[in-house]
Amino acid sequence: MELKKIIFFIFAAIAAAFTAPAQEGKPAWQAEKDDIGYTDAVILGLVEGITEYLPVSSTGHLILTNAALKLDADTPVLNEGGVNIMKTPDEPYTLKSLVDSYCIVIQLGAIASVALLYWRYILMMAIGLLGRNPTGLKLFVNLIAAFVPAAVVGLAFHDAIERYLFGVLPVIIALFAGAIVMWIAQRRYDKKGNSGKLKMEDLTLPKSVMIGLLQCFALLPGTSRSMMTILGGYFAGLDEKNSAKFSFLLGLVTLSAASLYKIYKDGSAMAEALSIPPLVVGLLVAFVSSAAAVKWLISFLTRHGLVPFAIYRVILAGVLALALYSGMF
């Protein structure tokens, strides 16, 4: 699948958000909502699956899609008895806060696709933990070392990031800034003659920690976890293929932790306020579309690098800036 087809599917999914039927036959952008429907779930699953492992920011795309689908209302959600479902003693859950949480949980679909595609590495690490595969044990230790920085920073600033940066304008800024970073990094990498020779199993612990520190920047919506970890792989001496593979496997740890934390924190509220069947459909769509995107990305990176994604991010940021200025968000 060519990049132009991937871009087409992403824009088609976001465009579908604007035309999806909502209340009384109106398009989504004209109607208020109080729940996630099947159409919403399919669109969210498609956006998540395609963008999760591409360096374009799945969280940023989901925030934009939520806005287009009118799933970002700040109206408090109610239980069956008509009483506010409380997030804290002083703050009720809103549709926006619950859908933002679902946009983290839906990552489980993308996680499952990588687990299926890279089961040999998971088995190798499991055997390594039993003391029978030193390479697998080293890879496991490196992944944990790369995961810890984002876990610490994420727990410390989770609420502030969700409260102040889960919006369209911060995503536009991050998309544009990330494009510049990718462009510069790829050009410098190419000037070195694509000298990355290390396999991901050969990474040292300090280099794994460095990749983990870069992953912390991906906590900002619109930045892209995949972008930062692939760049970290470049800086550590990996080639494009191994950088992407390490990013995928690190995503198993990081995204699983984030999703399970969201289920622990907000799962009961989501189950109480949102319809469960559409949420499951979204996970299944994310699983299928993510598997296709993962298999495509490695071959594309090897041939073209990150520059095409930088161009896409600039174009998307410009389109969204115009949409924001025109009052569509």
pLDDT tens, position by position, 42-57? 999 999 999 999 999 8
Q: What is the pLDDT of residue 239?
A: 87
Judged against a pLDDT cut of 80, whether residue 61 lies above it is answered with: yes
Mean pLDDT, residues 232-247: 91
User: Residues of the chain with pLDDT > 70: what percent?
Assistant: 89
Greatest mean pLDDT among 27-41, 51-65, 133-147, 196-210: 133-147
* Tens-place pLDDT, residues 253-270: 999 999 999 999 999 999
- Whole-angstrom Cα distance, residue 141 to residue 144? 5
Q: Which of 23-32, 95-104, 206-215 has the lowest mean pLDDT?
A: 23-32
User: Which residue type is seen at 292?
Assistant: A
The dihedral formed by the CA atoms of 11, 14, 20 and 22, expressed in degrees to the nearest 10 = -170
Q: What is the pLDDT of residue 262?
A: 93
pTM of the shown model: 0.83
Question: What are residue 198's DSSP bridge partners?
Answer: 238
Mean pLDDT, residues 170-184: 93
* Tens-place pLDDT, residues 115-129: 999 999 999 999 999
Query: What is the domain count for the chain?
Result: 1
Pick from 37, 20, 39: which is nearest to 29 by CA? 20
Q: What tokens does 15 get? A: 């465009």
Q: Which residues 6+ apart lie within 8 Å of 128 measured at CB?
A: 134, 135, 136, 137, 138, 139, 140
Q: Residue 158 — very low, low, confident or very high, per pLDDT cuts 50/70/90?
A: confident
- Whole-angstrom Cα distance, residue 118 to residue 25? 43
Mean pLDDT, residues 86-92: 90
Range of the structural domain that residue 88 is part of? 3-325
